[in-house]
Amino acid sequence: MRSEIATTRAFGGTAAFLWTEVLVQAHEELAMATAMVTQVVLLVFVYILAPSLIGVALVGSVVFSTFTLGQRVLNEAAYIRIDHKATDLYLAGPMTAEGYFLGMAVGILVVYLPPVAILGALTVLVAHLSVATALLLFGLSGVVWLFAASIGYIFSTFFRDNRAIWAYASLFFNVFGVLPPVFYPFGYFPAYLRPVALLMPPSAAAALVQSRLGATVLSTGETWLAVVGLAVETTGLFVFAAYWARRTVRGA
């Protein structure tokens, strides 16, 4: 019997678990709407208080949307592990832990893509984005998503109780997504804190798009810091999340 079975290749099971997660999440229509509440509220504020900044705010809302998907990954990963024992069921078997993580993350992205796409379309129209700028926005939003999904999954492994998560998750994602210059121009941020903002993926992505739009002036050094920061942090965190997913299949 032993000889029949091969070991699983890396990321094995990703597609199947992606589909599982799409089916699971698609039953939560209301959650799709609530995923947009913060962004829409902030957009209304900006529209009333500073209508000239609506383009910048729209760009921020797209970046913020993919960033907060990390919070969905955090909640989902913790919930199905703790309440459903899904990791026991799925990972004590041939499916890989990194496939489970990535499948879940992409599944959540797929389901929440329609509302993000609506904001994206609105942004392109209202802010008059060129094709190149639009592609830059969507590409960077994708990078931000991968970063956030990785952090969400890693965080999920530290909780033993879902109730504890409610307190921390929204705090983290709001502080890093709303406080730094994501919804407002990068130039409004205190000068000495700019490098910090450029090292945070949501504000780095927003700043790069703002700079292309002419809404912000970034020095060459600042542009590089944002680009390299995004690339290194996201790659590093994703690789670590895949490793961490494997590592945490087994409790100590």
Partner 1 sequence: MTAEPLRAENLRKIYTVKGAPPVEALSGVSMAVHPGERVALLGRNGAGKTTFLRIASTLLRPTSGTIEVFGYDVDAVPERARPYIAVVPQEGKPFFHLCPREQIYTYLRARGLSRETAKSRTEESLVRMGLTEVADRLAITLSGGQRQRTMVATVIATQAPLLFLDEPTIGMDPFARREVWASLRDLTTKGSTILLTTHYLDEAEALSHRLYIVERGRVIVTGTADELKRSVGGTLKVVLPGAAGRASEFASFGETVPDGGTLTVIVAPERLGELMDLAVRSHLTATVGPVTLEEAFLRVVGRKIDEE
**Shortest Å, Cβ 165 to partner 1:** 18
Indicate whether 5 belongs to the interface with partner 1 (CB under 8 A): yes
Q: Can you tell me the distance from the alpha carbon of 124 to that of 134, in angstroms, rounded to the nearest whole number?
A: 7
Looking at residue 187, what DSSP letter applies?
G
Nearer to partner 1, 11 or 47 (CB): 11
Of 16-24, 38-46, 115-123, 129-137, the window that binds partner 1 (rule: CB under 8 A) is 16-24
Query: Which of 81, 100, 91, 76 shows the shortest CA–CA distance to 17?
Result: 100
Task: Give the C-alpha separation, 142 to 71, whole Å.
Answer: 15
CB 202 within 8 A of CB 63: yes
Take residue 94 and report the two structure tokens written for it.
Answer: 């041939």
| Stretch of 20-28, 51-59, 188-196, 200-208 lying at the interface with partner 1 (CB under 8 A) | 20-28
Asked whether 78 and 183 are in contact (CB, 8 A), the reply is no
CA–CA separation, 87 and 81 (whole Å): 5
Query: Which of 129, 117, 92, 98 is closest to 18 using CA atoms?
Result: 98
* Min dist. Cβ of residue 129 to partner 1 (A): 36
Among 11, 20, 126, 142, binds partner 1 (CB under 8 A): 20
Q: Provide the minimum distance between the beta carbon of 214 and partner 1 in the complex, in angstroms, as a whole number.
A: 45
Residues contacting partner 1: total by CB under 8 A: 41
- Among 225, 171, 223, 174, CA closest to 199: 225
Give whichever of 5 and 37 is closer to partner 1, judged by the CB atom. Answer: 5
Binding mask 158-197 for partner 1 (x = CB under 8 A): ----------------------------------------
CB neighbour class for 91 (10 Å; exposed up to 12, middle 13-18, buried from 19): buried
Contact 42, 31 (CB under 8 A): no
Task: Lay out the site mask for partner 1 across 63-102 (x = CB under 8 A, - = otherwise).
Answer: -----------------x--xxxxxxxxxxxxx---xx--
Region near partner 1 per CB under 8 A, out of 7-15, 52-60, 172-180, 194-202: 7-15
Q: Which of 11, 19, 172, 240 binds partner 1 (CB under 8 A)?
A: 19
Contacting positions for partner 1 (CB under 8 A): 1-3, 5-8, 12-13, 16-17, 19-20, 23-28, 80, 83-95, 99-100, 103, 246, 249-252
